[in-house]
Amino acid sequence: MPIFSKYKRTTLLKEISDGKHEIIVWIAKKKEDSIVLRDPSGLKEFKLTGRKTSGLLKQPLETLLWIKSRIKDKELEVLDSKVIHKPYEERKFDYVDLRKISPEEFAKYSPWILRNPKYAASTKLLFLITRYSREFLYGEDFIELLPPMISIVSDPGLRGAKKLRTKYYGVEYELTSSVIMYKQASAAVFEKVFFTARNIREEPPENIKTGRHLSEFTQLDIEWALSDIDDVMRLAEQLIYTVTKLVADKYSEIIYMIGERKEPVVLKPPFPRITYDEALELAKKLGYSIEWGKELSHEAETAVAEYFGTPIWIIGYPVVSRGFYYLPNPEDPKYNLDFNLILPEGYGEVLDGGTREYRYPQVVGRIKMLGEPLEKYAWFIELVEQGGIPPSSGWGLGLERFARYVAGHKHVAYATPYPKLPGITLSP
C-alpha cells in the first residue's frame, strides 16, 4: 500500500477552490451527469469533465481514490487517478439521500449513516460535549476515574429497568448500571471525583418511543464530598452554560450541519427551581393530575418545563418515590435533598442527583428494604460502617441526552454512533 497519509491533499469542503488539487475521496453516489464524493470534511457533488472521467464512473460506489484534479466551479476534470481500495460488492445502503429514518433503522445502519454529514456532525458534537464537560470539571479540580464494566453489585436503587449479568471466573457479576458506590467511596479520598461512566440496562422495550432512552448510555457522574445540593446544582449549571456557550461560539457550524436547530442554544443559568410539590400543583393546573409520591409523567414534566420555557430544577422529591441514595431533608424528612434537571421543548430529564445517605443504620435498612442480600454489598457496607463514606452530593448528566438537546434531535438515538436501543438487538 502506498503511504497515502503522506500525500498532499485538499479536503472537499472549505479548502477547495478553483485550480489543481489532489484529493483522496470515496465515491458516495453516481448520478446521470455528476458524482458525489466524500472525504472526512463531508460530501460534495461535481460534474465530471475531461477524457479521463469515464474510468471513475465505472468504479463501484465506495471506491477509495486518489485523484489529481482540475476544479472549476462545480466541475471536476480528472488529470490522473489511482484506486486505493475497491469494494468487493456494490454498496447497498444509500447514506447520501437519507430521508426520514426511524431510530431502529438508524441503529441497524449506523456505520453507514455516519457517513452522512448530518450524523457525522452529531458524532462530533457528542465528542465535543464530552471533551469540554470533562475539561470544565478538571478546571474545578475534579479528578476522573475509569469506570468498572462489571461488579459484584452495581446499583441498589435501579427502578424500571433490568440489570445485565455475567459470570466472571464462575461468580455472578452485574454489568455497570451506575457507578454510585465507587463515586461515594472515591470522594472520601479525593473529595471531587467523576467518571465518564458507560451504563447498560435492559430498558422496557416500549421506552424506545420516549425518544430519550438508550439501553447503553453515558453518564458524566460526579461526586463531591462535603458539598450540599446547592453546590452541585450550581456546578451543573456552570458546566451546562460553559459547554453550550462554547459550542455556540466556536462550533456553530456543527449545529447548522446537523440542521435540526436554526441557531445554537445557550442555556444561561440560574435555572428556576421549584419543589416537587409545586411541580405537582403546576402540573394539575396544566391538566395533569399526579398522585402525591409518584414520579411526574413525561407529559406532565414536559408541560411544567414548557411553562417556564427554560431548563428547570425540580427539587425535594418524596422519600417514598425514589429514596435509595438520597438523604432525607432534616427539616422535613418526608422529602429528599435531591433534584432533577428538566430540559424544555419536551426533552425531559437530563441530570439527576442530590445529597447522599451516608449513615450506617439507614443505608443497611434501605438495602434490606429492597430485599437485596447484604453480603453482596459487603465492601460498601463496611465502608459506610467504618467511616469510609463521607457526606457528599453529586449528580449524573446523561451525555447523549445533553447532546441530543444541543443538536435538536427528535430521538436520542441520532445523537450517538452505534446506539443500543430499548428492545433492539443485533445492531452493530
Kindly state the number of chain residues that form the binding site for a second copy, as judged by CB under 8 A.
104
Residues 2-61 that bind a second copy (CB under 8 A): 3-6, 24, 26, 40, 60-61
Residues 51-110 that bind a second copy (CB under 8 A): 60-64, 84-92
- Binding segment for a second copy among 15-23, 48-56, 115-123, 236-244 (CB under 8 A)? 115-123
**Shortest distance, position 53 Cβ to a second copy, whole Å:** 20
Phi-psi domain of 256 (left: phi exceeds 0; alpha: psi -120 through 50; beta: other): alpha
**Shortest distance, position 354 Cβ to a second copy, whole Å:** 12
- Binding segment for a second copy among 170-178, 245-253, 260-268, 286-294 (CB under 8 A)? 170-178
Q: Going by C-beta distance under 8 Å and a sequence separation of 6 or more, which residues neighbour residue 330?
A: none
**Shortest distance, position 153 Cβ to a second copy, whole Å:** 10
Q: Going by C-beta distance under 8 Å and a sequence separation of 6 or more, which residues neighbour residue 263?
A: 252, 255
Q: Are 148 and 182 in contact (CB under 8 A)?
A: yes
Q: Is 361 in the site for a second copy (CB under 8 A)?
A: yes
Q: Calculate the CA 327 to chain-centre distance.
A: 28
Q: Is 299 in the site for a second copy (CB under 8 A)?
A: no
**Shortest distance, position 46 Cβ to a second copy, whole Å:** 19
User: What angle do the packed helices 399-407 and 229-250 form, to 10 degrees?
Assistant: 40
Q: What x/- string results for residues 184 through 203 when contact with a second copy is judged by CB under 8 A? A: -xx-xxxx----x-x-x-x-
- Binding segment for a second copy among 74-82, 131-139, 243-251, 260-268 (CB under 8 A)? 131-139
Q: Which residue bears the cell 497515502? A: 4
Reading the block at residue 295, the C-alpha cell is 414520579
Q: Going by C-beta distance under 8 Å and a sequence separation of 6 or more, which residues neighbour residue 281?
A: none
| Count of C-beta atoms within a 10 Å radius of residue 141 | 10
Buried b (16+ CB within 10 A) or exposed e, 70-89: ebeeeebbbeebeebeeeee
- Binding segment for a second copy among 98-106, 121-129, 291-299, 309-317 (CB under 8 A)? 121-129
Q: What are the Cα distances from residue 219, in Å, to 134, 169, 223?
A: 12, 28, 12
How far is it, in rounded angstroms, from Cα 340 to Cα 289? Answer: 19
Residues 385-404 that bind a second copy (CB under 8 A): 385-388, 390-391, 399
Give whichever of 323 and 390 is closer to a second copy, judged by the CB atom: 390
| Closest residue by Cα to residue 353 from 413, 397, 288 | 397
Reading the block at residue 216, the C-alpha cell is 447503553
**Shortest distance, position 305 Cβ to a second copy, whole Å:** 27
Q: Is 147 in the site for a second copy (CB under 8 A)?
A: yes
How far is it, in rounded angstroms, from Cα 422 to Cα 427? Answer: 12
Q: What x/- string results for residues 212 through 241 when contact with a second copy is judged by CB under 8 A? A: ---xx-x-----x-xxx-xx----------
Q: Is 167 in the site for a second copy (CB under 8 A)?
A: yes
Q: What x/- string results for residues 245 through 284 when contact with a second copy is judged by CB under 8 A? A: ----------------------------------------
Give whichever of 3 and 17 is closer to a second copy, judged by the CB atom: 3
Using CA atoms in the order 387, 388, 394, 399, what is the torsion angle rounded to 10 degrees? -170
> In the set 16, 71, 126, 282, which binds a second copy (CB under 8 A)?
126
> In the set 29, 30, 124, 273, which binds a second copy (CB under 8 A)?
124
Q: Is 125 in the site for a second copy (CB under 8 A)?
A: no
**Shortest distance, position 171 Cβ to a second copy, whole Å:** 4
Q: What are the Cα distances from residue 222, in Å, to 125, 134, 368, 423?
A: 21, 10, 26, 29
**Shortest distance, position 54 Cβ to a second copy, whole Å:** 20
**Shortest distance, position 177 Cβ to a second copy, whole Å:** 10
